[in-house]
C-alpha cells in the first residue's frame, strides 16, 4: 500500500522513478537476488534497484555482496573473472576474439571489447587459426599465436586485408623543421589522414608533446582531411568541419598549435574548403561561399591577434609561405598580401601589404610561396620568380639581381609541370618526371654534392617519376608517381623522415 501511495505521489508531482529502478509485480520489498556473478537486484518500495558489488565484496551470493572464494573462476560476458588471494577483488582476463571478414578486417569495431566466451573452467578457448592475421582497425593488426590460443596487436600506418601496408601519399607540405603528408584513403574504410615528421617542439603536429620525431606520426583528428599546409611553426588542415568559434583555441581547430581564441566568432559550423598558413597568420575559405577570412598576430606588425582581411570575395584557392599568402580569384588571377620587404607579395614599396595586390600577368598561373620569394608557372609554361634573391633562389646570380618586385622569367627552364619554393631555394618538376632545384644548398637541399649556392637549376640525381615537390627550410621532399616520398638535405630535427638525424645530399625514402 505504501509503495502504491509513493507511486501516486510521484505521478502527481510529475517525477519519474529513479534511474536504474524497475517496477516488477513479483518484487517483495526488502528482498534481493543475484544478477550475474557481480551484481544484485534489491526490491524497494519504489521498485527493483540494480546494484554492482564493489571492492571488498565483489561477488553476489544468495542475494548478498560478499568476498569471493580465493581462486574461484567465473565466466561472464566474454571474460574470465578470477578471485584474488584475499577474496576482496576480481581479476579480469578478457578472452581474445578473432573473426576476420572477407576484407581481412575483424568484425569488432576499434576500441570495442571482444565477445568470445571463456570455458566453464575459466580458460579462454582457441578462437583463431594459428598464425592468422586480421585488421582490428585501420591502424591495428591482430596476429594469432602459433597455438591459436592468444593474439597480439601490432600498430600499423595502414592495416588492410590482414596485413600492414605502407600508405600511398597524395600531397606533401614542408616547413622549416617538419614535413607532413596527406595519405590516400584507407583501402577499406575510405578515409584520408595526415602523418607528419620532424620537429614538434612547438606542438606543430602533436598536441601536448614537445619532441623530435624522425619517422611519420599520425596527426590526431586528421581523418577526412583534403589538404595539409605548414608554416615554420604550425600545421593546418582543410576538409574538416569547424566554426569560427572553434577555429582557434579548441580541439576542433584545424591548425596546431592552438594558442588563440577569436573574438565575436560566427558559431555556424562549416567545412574548411581551403586553407593557407604563414608564420604568424592563417587564411581559410568556407565550403558555403568563396569569401576568405584571415586572422593573424602581427598582421600588420605590432597589432594584436585580430582579423586583418575579412569579406574578400570570389576566392578559388590559397597558398601560403613563411610571411605572405596568395589567393587565386575566380578570374584565375592571383593576389598576394603580407610581409613585403623584398617585393615578394606585391609590386609596392610598402614592407607590409594588408590589401591583396594582384600579381601582374598571373591569370591561370600556379604559384608557390617561399621564405621571402615567390615562384610560379605562368602560361604558357614559363617559370617566373620574384622577391629576395640573396641565395640565388630566383635562379639569377645575386650579383646581377639582389631582389625584384615583378615576376622575372628563368631563361632556359622549360617543360615544368609543378613548382615549389622553400625558405631560400626553389624546385621545379619536369614533364619527364625529373626534378631540378636552385638556390641555397648549405645542407644538400638541392640534392647536389657541392655545398653552397647553386644559381642555375640543377637536376636532382636519383629521382624519377616525380609528381610534386615540397621544399622546406633546408630540406626538400619529392612525391613520386607510386605514392612514395624521397627527401634530402638537413635532417637535424628528423624532417627527412628517415628514422635518424643524419643529413643527406641524395634522395632517401621516408621510413614508415
Same domain, 390 and 432: yes
Q: What is the DSSP string of 291-351?
A: -EEEEESSSSTT--SEEEEEEE--EEEEEE-SSEEEEEETTS-EEEEEE-TTSSS-SSS-S
Can you count the helices (H) and strands (E) in the chain?
Answer: 2, 42
- State pLDDT tens for residues 118-166: 666 666 555 567 787 877 777 788 887 787 767 788 888 777 777 888 8
- The sign of the CA dihedral 384, 387, 390, 393 is negative
State the residue for C-alpha cell 553476489: 60
Least Cα distance to 370 among 412, 347, 339 occurs for 339
pLDDT value at residue 250: 34
CB-facing half-sphere around the CA of 231: CA atoms within 13 A = 24
Per-residue model confidence as pLDDT tens digits over 235-275: 888 887 764 433 333 333 457 654 333 433 445 667 788 99
Query: Which residue, 45, 65, 93, sits at the end of a domain?
Result: 93
H or E stretch including 247?
A: helix 244-247
**Residue position matching grid coordinates 574470465:** 80
In a domain, 122, yes or no: yes
The answer to whether 137 touches 110, Cβ cutoff 8 Å, is: yes
Dist. CA 243–CA 272, nearest whole Å: 9
Average pLDDT of the chain to the nearest whole number: 80
- CA torsion angle 118 122 128 131 (round to 10): 160
Full-model pTM: 0.72
Per-residue pLDDT, averaged over 406-424, amounts to 96
Q: Is the domain of 161 the same as that of 173?
A: no
141 and 86 together in one domain: no
* Greater pLDDT, 76 or 63: 63
Task: Based on the fold, state whether residues 321 and 185 are members of the same structural domain.
Answer: yes
**Residue 113 has what DSSP assignment?**
P
Decide if pLDDT at 1 tops 70: no
Domain boundary (93, 118, 145) is at: 93
The three cell numbers of residue 156 are 600499423
SS3 at position 51: strand
Query: Domain containing 354 — which CATH number?
Result: 2.130.10.30
Same domain, 224 and 302: yes
Contact 510, 484 (CB under 8 A): yes
In this structure, the answer to whether residues 380 and 493 fall within a common structural domain is yes
Separation CA 334–CA 69 (nearest Å): 78
Q: Are residues 190 and 147 in the same domain?
A: no
Query: Based on the domain organization, do 88 and 146 belong to the same domain?
Result: no
Question: How many structural domains is the chain composed of?
Answer: 3
The answer to the question of residue 457 being in a domain is yes
Q: Regarding beta strands 241-242 and 270-278, do their DSSP bridges make them parallel or antiparallel, or are they unpaired?
A: antiparallel
| Dihedral sign, Cα of residue 459, residue 464, residue 470, residue 473 | negative
Q: Which of 21, 451, 457 is nearest to 488 (CA)?
A: 451
Bridge partners of residue 134, in order along the sequence: 142
- Domain with 307, as residue range(s), is 169-509
**Domain stop point among 66, 93, 120:** 93
Amino acid at each position: 500500500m505504501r509503495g502504491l501511495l509513493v507511486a501516486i505521489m510521484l505521478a502527481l508531482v510529475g517525477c519519474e522513478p529513479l534511474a536504474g529502478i524497475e517496477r516488477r509485480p513479483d518484487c517483495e520489498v526488502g528482498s534481493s537476488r543475484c544478477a550475474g556473478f557481480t551484481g544484485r537486484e534489491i526490491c524497494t518500495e519504489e521498485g527493483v534497484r540494480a546494484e554492482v558489488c564493489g571492492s571488498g565484496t565483489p561477488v553476489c551470493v544468495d542475494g548478498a555482496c560478499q568476498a569471493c572464494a580465493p581462486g574461484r573462476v567465473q565466466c561472464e560476458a566474454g571474460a574470465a573473472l578470477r578471485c584474488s588471494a584475499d577474496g576482496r577483488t576480481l581479476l579480469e582476463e578478457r578472452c581474445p576474439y578473432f573473426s576476420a571478414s572477407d576484407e581481412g578486417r575483424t568484425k569488432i569495431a576499434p576500441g570495442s571489447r571482444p565477445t568470445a566466451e571463456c570455458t566453464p573452467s575459466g580458460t579462454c578457448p582457441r578462437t583463431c587459426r594459428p598464425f592468422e592475421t586480421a585488421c582490428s582497425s585501420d591502424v591495428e593488426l591482430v596476429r594469432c599465436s602459433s597455438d591459436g590460443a592468444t593474439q597480439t596487436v601490432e600498430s600499423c600506418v595502414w592495416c588492410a586485408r590482414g596485413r600492414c601496408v605502407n600508405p600511398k601519399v597524395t600531397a606533401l607540405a614542408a616547413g622549416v623543421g617538419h614535413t607532413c603528408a596527406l595519405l590516400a584513403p584507407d583501402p577499406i574504410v575510405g578515409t584520408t589522414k595526415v602523418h607528419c615528421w620532424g620537429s614538434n617542439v612547438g606542438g606543430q603536429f602533436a598536441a601536448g608533446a614537445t619532441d623530435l620525431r624522425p619517422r611519420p606520426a599520425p596527426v590526431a583528428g586528421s581523418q577526412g582531411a583534403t589538404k595539409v599546409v605548414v608554416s615554420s611553426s604550425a600545421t593546418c588542415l582543410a576538409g574538416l568541419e569547424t566554426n569560427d568559434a572553434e577555429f582557434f583555441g579548441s580541439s576542433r581547430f584545424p591548425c596546431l598549435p592552438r594558442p588563440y581564441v577569436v573574438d565575436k566568432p560566427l558559431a555556424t559550423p562549416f567545412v574548411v574548403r581551403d586553407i593557407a598558413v604563414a608564420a604568424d597568420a592563417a587564411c581559410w575559405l568556407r565550403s558555403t561561399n568563396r569569401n576568405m577570412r584571415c586572422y593573424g598576430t602581427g598582421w600588420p606588425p605590432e597589432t594584436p591577434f585580430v582579423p586583418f582581411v575579412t569579406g574578400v570575395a570570389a576566392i578559388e584557392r590559397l597558398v601560403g609561405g613563411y610571411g605572405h599568402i596568395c589567393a587565386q580569384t575566380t578570374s584565375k588571377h592571383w593576389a598576394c598580401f603580407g610581409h613585403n620587404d623584398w617585393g615578394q607579395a606585391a609590386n609596392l614599396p610598402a614592407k607590409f601589404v594588408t590589401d591583396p595586390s594582384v600579381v601582374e600577368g598571373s591569370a591561370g598561373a600556379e604559384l608557390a610561396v617561399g621564405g621571402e620569394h615567390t615562384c610560379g608557372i605562368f602560361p604558357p609554361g614559363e617559370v617566373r620568380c620574384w622577391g629576395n634573391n640573396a641565395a640565388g633562389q630566383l635562379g639569377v646570380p645575386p650579383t646581377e639581381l639582389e631582389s625584384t618586385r615583378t615576376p622575372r622569367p628563368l631563361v632556359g627552364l622549360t617543360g615544368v609541370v609543378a613548382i615549389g619554393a622553400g625558405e631560400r631555394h626553389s624546385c621545379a618538376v619536369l614533364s619527364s618526371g625529373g626534378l631540378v632545384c636552385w638556390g641555397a644548398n648549405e645542407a644538400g637541399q638541392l640534392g647536389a654534392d657541392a655545398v653552397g649556392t647553386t644559381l642555375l637549376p640543377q637536376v636532382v640525381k636519383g629521382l624519377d617519376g616525380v609528381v610534386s615537390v615540397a621544399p622546406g627550410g633546408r630540406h626538400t621532399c619529392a612525391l613520386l608517381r607510386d605514392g612514395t616520398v624521397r627527401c634530402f638535405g638537413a635532417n637535424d630535427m628528423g624532417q627527412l623522415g628517415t628514422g635518424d638525424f643524419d643529413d643527406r645530399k641524395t634522395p632517401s625514402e621516408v621510413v614508415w
